[in-house]
Structure 1
Amino acid sequence: MAITDWRIELIHLPVADVERAKHFYVDTIGFTLDHDHQMGPDLRFVQITPQGSACSFTIGQGLTDMAPGSLKGVQVVVPSAADALDHLRGKGIECSDVDEQPWGRFVYFTDPDGNSWVLQEIVVPT
């Protein structure tokens, strides 16, 4: 039997300070806080989801051995790169100007730990 339905649902986002990361993603950017559970002195599970996304991210303690800031180039599709840029800068987040390419418009930023993000507005060639 062939496997025909593979969906990415959860990605670990390595951070050094869970509260700082939670504040950045939930309170500043506007991700939804799905779960925040302390399951022991060295295990905390925080699940956050970008608005409209089928894929969530976990931040926490004891979840991964990846170094904080080591996740690079997570790409998120947005309706408008200009609107995303305005939103991020309006929240005080340092990010690139809109990078215009024939295949899309891009905005780049990093979280407080150095994990890097790419926001892409898809451009349909004419």
Structure 2
Amino acid sequence: MSSPQSQQDDATDAVKEPAMDMKFEVTAIPVADVDRALRFYQNLGWRLDADYEAGPGFRIVQLTPPGSEGSVHFGRGVTPAAPGSAQGLYLVVLDIDRARAELISKGVEVSEVFHHVYDTGVQERVDGPDPERRSYASYASFSDPDGNGWLLQEVQVRQPGR
């Protein structure tokens, strides 16, 4: 019987230490105009955690979406990536219709809700929420002023272990 402090690998009988926690907390998004991006994300209700400048070549801004443990960084000298090149940034929401309506009320252009089907073996985007309203299956998309692409994903019930 293995203790909570270690695990035994049945194949080798070697004792493994448990994995160290590694929490993904921030991602850098490339923007052309730091102040414009700051206004955009603050207008969404994101909390300003930091706005630090260390000379003309470096400024870092950190914001956190409501209820999130993860944040975004942007600024000058933060990432060499081209402004607008960050795509597939997910915001998980409990109610996609409500989240979409809230963004629209703040002046954000948001796609209609959609889901994917794989009938042909290829992912196909279909208008409307997932017919069964399964978690992880309904989306809406929007972009920030630079074109960085965000996806709202409806998750009402988390997968085990999440």
Per the TM superposition, whether the score is higher than 0.5 is: yes
1:6 aligns with 2:6: no
Q: So what's the TM-score if we normalise by structure 2?
A: 0.72
1:3 deviation in Å?
A: 3.3
1:120 aligns with 2:153: yes
Q: State the match for 2:121 in structure 1.
A: none
Return 5+ residue gaps in structure 1 as ranges.
none
Q: How many residues align?
A: 123
Q: Which secondary structure state, in structure 2, belongs to the residue aligned with residue 40 of structure 1?
A: coil
Q: Which protein, 1 or 2, shows the higher relative CO under an 8 Å CA cutoff with sep ≥ 6?
A: 1
Q: Which secondary structure state, in structure 1, belongs to the residue aligned with residue 72 of structure 2?
A: strand
RMSD of aligned alpha carbons: 1.4
In the TM superposition, what are the counterparts of 1:25-104 in structure 2 within 5 Å?
A: 25-26=41-42, 28-99=43-114, 100-101=129-130, 102=132, 103=134, 104=137
Q: Which amino acid aligns with 1:87?
A: E
How far apart in 2 are the matches of 1:122 and 1:10?
Answer: 21
How far apart in 1 are the matches of 2:92 and 2:38?
Answer: 21
Q: Which amino acid aligns with 1:25?
A: Y
Residue deviations 1:30-64, cap 9 Å, x none? 11000001111110010000011111110100011
8 Å CA contact 1:105–1:123 kept in 2: the answer is: no
Q: Which amino acid aligns with 1:84?
A: A
Q: Kindly, what percent of the aligned residue pairs are identical? A: 43
Return 5+ residue gaps in structure 2 as ranges.
1-16, 115-128, 158-162
8 Å CA contact 2:64–2:71 kept in 1: the answer is: yes
Q: State the match for 1:110 in structure 2.
A: 143
Q: State the match for 1:19 in structure 2.
A: 35
Of the two, which has the highest radius of gyration? 2
Q: Which secondary structure state, in structure 1, belongs to the residue aligned with residue 78 of structure 2?
A: coil
Greater helix percent: which structure?
1
